[in-house]
């Protein structure tokens, strides 16, 4: 699993699942991933007999609402770095080690939260739908980066901090939905250094950044609308131009794309387009040389 699901990947999944599952009845609900279910009241079995009302996205999380005949319920789902929420025509076999949460649905279908790799980080929380607005995993989020992160004044207020843009864009309390992949693409599109501080943005730069946030995420979603169908593939090819393309020519200026390597992620950028020709110090190399 390489691509981490961010706003466009979660949004296309939510749209497809919403269309496929609205009104579907839940026949069973199980959590074979013992760490995945982060709540115990109501129990997961409270979903049995319920019907899916809607599947929506907030930030990088899914909000699946259910009508139960009594108190409406909501399932919050976070894929973290390696999860997928997938709908299959039949149940998973007993040997499937990727399943974290399973919902049986009418017609023999199964909605599966799956996770690839060794870590178990993806999670779900089941709560009364009326408790959603107080749920910290949602209430602590900044505005959704797409479709409207706010006007330029609102965005300036959000980004007005002495922190690098790459970190600010990925901070879910500042803006919700952007991660490592799309932060690289957005900053490249806006021709801004990943290390420029948010508080130092000039008006023209802020306008470019806002346009890049909305445009890049919207274009990615439009791409997925044309290319993705259920079940969401294990590997969803992301339409990236810069992220993971270091060493290749910049699609805009043809100079070589560079990268800064950190412990668990990489920032890719074009020195010619984004840093006035300066090559940023590669922390990985400097650590090796120390």
Sheet strand arrangement including 109-115: 26-30, 99-105, 109-115, 83-88
Left (φ > 0), alpha (ψ -120 to 50) or beta: where does 25 sit? beta
Contact with Zn ion (CB under 5 A): which of 114, 166, 272, 275? 272
By beta-carbon proximity to Zn ion, the closer residue of 53 and 272 is: 272
| Strand partners of residue 268 | 259
Min separation Cβ 215 and Zn ion, Å: 17
Q: Contact region for Zn ion (CB under 5 A) — 101-109, 116-124, 151-159, 272-280?
A: 272-280
| Strand partners of residue 85 | 113
By beta-carbon proximity to Zn ion, the closer residue of 41 and 276 is: 276
Min separation Cβ 16 and Zn ion, Å: 34
Q: Find the length of the chain.
A: 290
Contact with Zn ion (CB under 5 A): which of 253, 278, 285, 287? 253
| Residue 270 near Zn ion by CB under 5 A | yes
Q: Contact region for Zn ion (CB under 5 A) — 110-118, 154-162, 267-275, 276-284?
A: 267-275
180, exposed or middle or buried, with CB in 10 Å at 0-12, 13-18, 19+? buried
Site string for Zn ion, 118-147 (x = CB under 5 A): ------------------------------
Distance from C-alpha of 162 to C-alpha of 17, rounded to nearest angstrom: 40
Query: Is residue 141 a contact partner of residue 106, using CB atoms and an 8 Å limit?
Result: no
By beta-carbon proximity to Zn ion, the closer residue of 87 and 270 is: 270
Q: Which residue's CB atom is positioned nearest to Zn ion? A: 250
Q: Contact region for Zn ion (CB under 5 A) — 46-54, 195-203, 242-250, 276-284?
A: 242-250
Eight-class DSSP state of 32: -
Distance from C-alpha of 111 to C-alpha of 230, rounded to nearest angstrom: 11
Min separation Cβ 216 and Zn ion, Å: 15
Distance from C-alpha of 63 to C-alpha of 15, rounded to nearest angstrom: 12
By beta-carbon proximity to Zn ion, the closer residue of 87 and 190 is: 190
Distance from C-alpha of 251 to C-alpha of 255, rounded to nearest angstrom: 8
| Residue 252 near Zn ion by CB under 5 A | yes
Query: Is residue 14 a contact partner of residue 55, using CB atoms and an 8 Å limit?
Result: yes
By beta-carbon proximity to Zn ion, the closer residue of 65 and 244 is: 244
Min separation Cβ 268 and Zn ion, Å: 11
Q: Contact region for Zn ion (CB under 5 A) — 90-98, 161-169, 249-257, 276-284?
A: 249-257
Work out the angle at residue 96's Cα, subtended by the Cα atoms of residues 55 and 31, and round it to the nearest 5 degrees. Answer: 50
Handedness of CA 180, 183, 187, 192 (dihedral sign): negative
By beta-carbon proximity to Zn ion, the closer residue of 27 and 256 is: 256
Eight-class DSSP state of 179: -
- Count of residues engaged in binding Zn ion, rule: CB under 5 A: 6
Min separation Cβ 188 and Zn ion, Å: 8
Min separation Cβ 254 and Zn ion, Å: 7
The residues binding Zn ion (CB under 5 A) are 250, 252-253, 270, 272-273
């Amino acid at each position: 699993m390489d691509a981490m699901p961010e706003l466009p990947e979660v949004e296309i999944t939510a749209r497809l699942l919403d269309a496929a599952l609205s009104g579907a009845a839940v026949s069973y609900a199980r959590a074979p991933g013992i760490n995945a279910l982060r709540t115990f009241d109501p129990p997961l079995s409270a979903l049995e007999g319920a019907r899916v009302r809607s599947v929506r996205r907030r930030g990088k999380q899914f909000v699946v609402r259910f009508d139960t005949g009594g108190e409406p319920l909501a399932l919050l789902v976070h894929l973290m770095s390696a999860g997928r929420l997938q709908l299959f025509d039949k149940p998973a076999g007993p040997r499937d080690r990727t399943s974290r949460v399973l919902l049986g649905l009418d017609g023999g279908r199964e909605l599966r939260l799956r996770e690839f790799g060794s870590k178990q980080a993806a999670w779900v929380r089941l709560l009364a739908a009326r408790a959603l607005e107080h749920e910290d995993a949602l209430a602590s989020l900044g505005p959704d980066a797409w479709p409207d992160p706010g006007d330029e004044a609102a965005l300036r207020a959000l980004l007005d901090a002495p922190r690098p843009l790459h970190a600010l864009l990925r901070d879910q309390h500042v803006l919700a939905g952007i991660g490592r992949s799309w932060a690289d693409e957005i900053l490249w599109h806006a021709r801004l250094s990943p290390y420029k501080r948010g508080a130092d943005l000039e008006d023209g730069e802020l306008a470019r950044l806002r346009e890049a946030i909305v445009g890049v995420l919207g274009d990615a979603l439009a791409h997925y609308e044309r290319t993705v169908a259920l079940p969401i593939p294990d590997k969803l090819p992301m339409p990236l131009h810069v992220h993971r393309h270091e060493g290749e020519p910049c699609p805009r200026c043809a100079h070589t794309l560079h990268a800064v390597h950190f412990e668990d992620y990489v920032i890719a950028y074009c020195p010619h387009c984004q840093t006035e020709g300066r090559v940023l110090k590669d922390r990985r190399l400097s650590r090796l040389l120390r």
